[in-house]
Amino acid sequence: MIASICVTAIDQLPFPGTVDADKLWIINGQEVWETEFSDEEIPQDPNRMHQLEKVARDGPKWGPDIYVDVVVKVKDYANFRIYLLRASNQYIGATW
């Protein structure tokens, strides 16, 4: 599995450079894939400056056509805070 995630600033302002995501959990029933994001550079789309995009690779071969829960650990380095963001019922449409 390859996971591509976008964390979106709800105020639509450019995503702060002091905020980053470093950990990912994908939950499929009782199974959990815990991983860190790759270091690969994703070109910034000028129309999506309000989003942080990250990729994780080499995951399990789940699906396709299943729903999983996704949890992302986000660090705010300026304020020394950690947030866990959850997106439930995310569709896996293809696996390679």
CA–CA distances in Å: residue 78 to residues 10, 14, 20, 30, 33: 18, 16, 11, 35, 29
**Two tokens, residue 42:** 């994703």
Give 95's pLDDT tier (boundaries 50, 70, 90): confident
96, pLDDT greater than 80:
no
Residue with tokens 């396709």: 64
Domain-wise residue ranges, the chain: 3-92
pLDDT at 42: 83
Q: Concatenated DSSP letters for 35-74?
A: EE------PPPGGGTTEEEEEE-S-----SSEEEEEEEEE
pLDDT at 11: 92
pLDDT at 40: 87
Residue with tokens 């071969």: 61
Write out pLDDT tens, residues 35-91: 999 998 888 888 889 999 999 999 999 989 999 999 999 999 999 999 999 999 999
Q: Please indicate, yes or no, whether the overall pTM of this predicted structure exceeds 0.75.
A: yes
Give 31's pLDDT tier (boundaries 50, 70, 90): very high
